[in-house]
Chains A and B, each alone.
Chain A
Amino acid sequence: MAMFRGQYDNDVTTWSPQGRLHQVEYAMEAVNQGSAVVGLHSATHAVLVALKRSQDSLSEHQKKIYQLDDHVGFAFAGLTADAPIIYHYLRNECLDFRYANNESMPAPHMVRDLCRRAQRRTQRYGGRPYGVGLLLAGADHAGVSLYQTCPSGIEYACKAMAIGARSQSARTYLERHIGELGGASLPDLVQHGLRALKDTLPAEAELTNRNVSIAIVGVDMGFSVYEGDRVDSYLAELKAETGGTPSTETSRERAKTPESMEVEAS
Chain B
Amino acid sequence: NAEYMGGHTRLSEGYSILSRDVERIQSIGKNCVIGQAGFHGDNQFLYKVLQTRAKIFEFDHGQALDCHSTASLLSNLLYSRRFFPILSYCLVAGVEQDSQGQWKGRVYGYDVVGSFESRPCEATGEAGTLMLPLLDNQVEFKNLGPNAERVPLTRERAVGLIQDVLQAATERDIMTGDFGQIVLIDKDGVQQRRIPLRRD
Residues of A within 8 A of B (CB): 67, 91, 95, 98-99
Contacts and interface: CB of A to CB of B under 8 A. Distances in A.
B59 A98 contact: no
Interface in B53-106: 55-56, 59
Nearest to A91: B59
B52 interface: yes
Interface in B13-68: 48, 52, 55-56, 59
A56 B56 CA distance: 32
A11 to B, nearest CB: 36
Chain B residues touching A, range? under 10
B29 to A, nearest CB: 14
A99 B55 CA distance: 11
9 contacts: A67-B59, A91-B56, A91-B59, A95-B52, A95-B55, A95-B56, A98-B52, A99-B48, A99-B52
Contacts of B52: 95, 98-99
Contacts of A95: 52, 55-56
Given A91-B59, A99-B52, 4 more contacts: A67-B59, A95-B55, A95-B56, A99-B48
A71 to B, nearest CB: 13
A167 to B, nearest CB: 28
Interface of B: 48, 52, 55-56, 59
A265 B165 CA distance: 63
Contacts of A99: 48, 52
A91 B52 CA distance: 11
B47 to A, nearest CB: 11
Contacts of B59: 67, 91
A69 B98 CA distance: 30
A98 B48 CA distance: 10
B11 to A, nearest CB: 20
A26 B56 CA distance: 34
Contacts of A67: 59
Contacts of A91: 56, 59
Nearest to B49: A99
A99 B59 CA distance: 16
A245 to B, nearest CB: 41
Nearest to A94: B55
A160 to B, nearest CB: 27
A104 to B, nearest CB: 12
A229 to B, nearest CB: 16
A250 to B, nearest CB: 36
Nearest to A98: B52
A260 to B, nearest CB: 31
B114 to A, nearest CB: 21
Contacts of B55: 95
Contacts of A98: 52
A99 B48 CA distance: 7
A91 B60 CA distance: 11
Contacts of B48: 99
9 A-B pairs closest in CB distance: A95-B52, A99-B52, A99-B48, A91-B59, A95-B55, A95-B56, A67-B59, A98-B52, A91-B56
B179 to A, nearest CB: 24
Contacts of B56: 91, 95
Nearest to B55: A95
A63 B65 CA distance: 24
A90 to B, nearest CB: 12
A95 B57 CA distance: 12
A10 B175 CA distance: 71
B26 to A, nearest CB: 14
B73 to A, nearest CB: 15
A256 B189 CA distance: 57
B24 to A, nearest CB: 19
A39 B166 CA distance: 55
A254 B59 CA distance: 38
